[in-house]
Structure 1
Amino acid sequence: MPQPRDTQRIAVDAMGGDLGPAEVVEAVKLALAQQPALNPITLVGDEAQLVPLLDRAGLRVGDSERLALLHAPEVITMDDKPVLALRRKKNSSMLRAIELVKDGSASVVVSCGNTGALMAGGTLRLRTMQGVARPALAAVVPRAGGHFVLIDAGANPDARPEHLLHNAILGSHYCRVRLHTKATTAPRVGLMSIGTEEGKGNALTAEAHALLRSAHDAGILNYSGQIEGFQVFAEAGGGGVDVVVCDGFVGNIMLKSWESLVKFFSSIIKTELRANPLRMAGALMAKGAFSALKSRIDPDSHSGAPLLGLRGNILKAHGSSKRTAICAAICAAGEIITAEMNQHIEADVRRAAPLLSSSAQARAEIASSPPPSPQN
């Protein structure tokens, strides 16, 4: 089936999730119903499986320009080795969706598939933006009074100072789009460290701190300085920030620790509330409060972690995502396109380039300078 060339289109990988293509089709139905002005969608996957599912959902491809179907008979599974799968399964739904972005037939890929394959495929096929050395994975995490963006959440564990500067730029623009930060107030950026005082942290954070401060002085970022672990979930104005910047090693540990801690406390609360009839009665009376709490910390409401810094957009949803979470990721893809996020990122990366040149020159001068003379 020929595909329309439309850079405003969203390509959805229908085959990669743990719950199968039926859940993805229902997510597409939800997204189209909830967002009448949502960008057109191309569903990518095996026609033999998708056509009956679309019919059952009441979605007909070709009846309007809002939904198209691209046949891709192969599937990259969660057990596949990423690089090997990219070589052997060139007709997979994931790679065909990425190719739509590469050739200009779509602007964003949404997938619940194999994270390693999606990141590798996106990086190899789309390449990074000019001036950006490494892409970064962003995640939206709840905090007191709202949410913040954590970046990098795992794409680049061996970062250099310039990578953290780019992470700050990427995260700041993503924060504007997803958390609707007011245009007049740039998102506050904090660098994750072990202390807020000057000189705290390791060599990476020390040099990154200097770069971020220079970017703040140049009007590229709203840098608040280094932050500690206890500030991460603090309310804005109470020491919290809108964007937490770190390398992928630290970020991935932070994200997974938070997710496991949420499950741990949820389990404890359920156990304790069921301990006796009196507590169960109290829990029933507080049902509204518990529902509100669940809504605030529910990851489905901000599903879809983007791999930022590429010449195209990739949104990764959890492999076990249900239709509501996939729907949220699809709607987030529409917001990214409408905001022209990548164009704004590229402009700020160009503005930051002289700062990196100055930093590299300073490092070279230090490295080439002779050692101090021994003192008598």
Structure 2
Amino acid sequence: MVNVAVDVMGGDNAPAEPVKGAVIALGENKEIRVYLCGKKDVVEKELGKYQYPADRVEIIDAPEVIEMGEPPVMAIRKKKDSSIVRGLNLVKEGTCDAFVSAGSSGAILVGGQVIVGRIKGVERPPLAPVFPTDNGISLLIDCGANVDARASHLVQFAKMGTIYMEHVLGVKNPKVGILNIGTEEEKGNMLVKEAYPLLKNCPDINFIGSVEAREIPKGTADIVVCEAFAGNVALKMYEGVGSTMIGALKETFTRSLATKLAYLLVKPALKKTLKRFDATEYGGAPLLGLKGLVVKTHGNATHKEISTSIIQCVTFKEQEINRKINDTINMLDDQGA
């Protein structure tokens, strides 16, 4: 049985979507038990809308809520009965294998390190979302946890990302690229120039060199390594262009009777194409390198993204990802990588 704590109070669509996502996950995988963290009366009211296996649901009363604008460190320290802190403590104590939340990114990142703790040898846990590309999917690591990363951090990001892509997402021998302003080895800022030879000489990484931002949607690299500032900018730009394109298509197809009729003809193919590029199909972003799994979904996550995130926790546990990360990182340290 895989025990997953779910933050019912976090995100734009709480509590409805987290609860619905949890119920769907329970229906799709009988090896999942969920611990719903939130205000007890609120959770019970939402659960009352569904039929679900009561023996695989626990309600963890968490009367406090960490709001999006609160200072993360202070919030984690002061709001011990918040849904985020209660959920992370369930992972720390070993009651749960994973915690899934659409709540405050800052609180989750801080709480993950302070409460759950890092695997021995891991310098910085990176946030690693999956996004759709022409070739399927790619992993962007880091996209929000470490703005001031060092070259050694990027090497660890690449190694942890490789383990995750291979064993959770099924991409064998994934290609690793470092995000850069050109493909030439000598280009880039000091961080990229220092990290490039380390990645190039790491035998356990399938390093293909520098990757420009325009190559990301093409899927040139299965794993794009960068520090969090560049990664977050790239991810938000990617998501923004996608939503803008969808809005433009909707405006075009509703302009006149002729365009509405044209839409009816292309609707099946268009829906299929848009689904390919829907990031919610792939679940949230794991914070890799912690002693337990912590998954951050989009703040506006729907039940689909939350249920997918919960279900992926099963694969994470079955494939012993944290053991593999521990073994690999410490092996790299022993070799002086």
The two structures have a TM-score, normalised by structure 2, of 0.95
Opposite residue 104 of structure 1, the aligned amino acid is: G
SS at match of 2:140: strand
Listed one character per residue, the Cα deviations across residues 151-209 of structure 1 (whole Å, up to 9, x for unaligned) are 1011101111001001101211221244212xxx3111111112222312122112211
Post-superposition Cα deviations, 1:192-243, rounded to whole Å, max 9, x if no partner, equal: 1122223121221122111112212xxx2111122222322224xxxx1110
Is 1:10–1:334's contact at 8 Å kept on the other side of the alignment?
Answer: no
* Matches of 2:191 and 2:69, distance apart in 1: 34
* Identity of matched residues, %: 35
Structure 2 residue ranges without an equivalent (≥5): none
Paired residue for 2:273? 293
The aligned residue for residue 202 of structure 2 is 215
CA contact (8 A) 1:16 1:112 kept: yes
Whether 1:143 aligns to 2:133 is yes
**Aligned residue in 1 for 2:329:** 349
Q: Does the residue aligned with 1:308 lie in a helix, a strand or coil?
A: coil
Do the aligned partners of 2:185 and 2:209 also contact (CA within 8 Å) in 1? no
Alignment counterpart, residue 233 of structure 2, candidates 253, 256, 278: 253
Query: Counterparts in 2 of 1:107-118, with a 5 A limit?
Result: 107-118=97-108
Q: Any conservation in 1 of the 2:26–2:52 contact (CA below 8 Å)?
A: no
Which of 40, 46, 50 does residue 53 from structure 1 map onto? 46
1:63-102 map, 5 Å: 64=55, 66-102=56-92
Unaligned 5+ runs, structure 1? 1-5, 359-376
Q: Which residue of 2 aligns with 1:273?
A: 253
* Matched residues, number: 337
Matched, 1:331 2:331: no
Q: Tell me which of 8, 11, 16 is aligned to 1:22.
A: 16
Between Structure 1 and Structure 2, whose CA radius of gyration is higher?
1
* 1:120-161 superposed Cα distances (whole Å, 9 cap, x missing partner): 111111222211111111111111120100010111011110
Q: Deviations over 1:304-342 (max 9, x none)?
A: 111111111110111211111211111122221121111
State the distance in 2 between where 1:23 and 1:154 align. 24
* Contact persistence 1:43–1:68 (CA under 8 A): yes
Aligned residue for 1:129?
119
Whether the 8 Å CA contact 1:110–1:333 is kept in 2: the answer is: no
Q: Aligned ranges for residues 232-243 of structure 1 at < 5 Å?
A: 232-235=216-219, 240-243=220-223
Scaled by the length of structure 1, the TM-score of the pair is: 0.85
Name the counterpart of 1:152: 142
Runs of 4+ in 1 over 6 A off after TM superposition: none
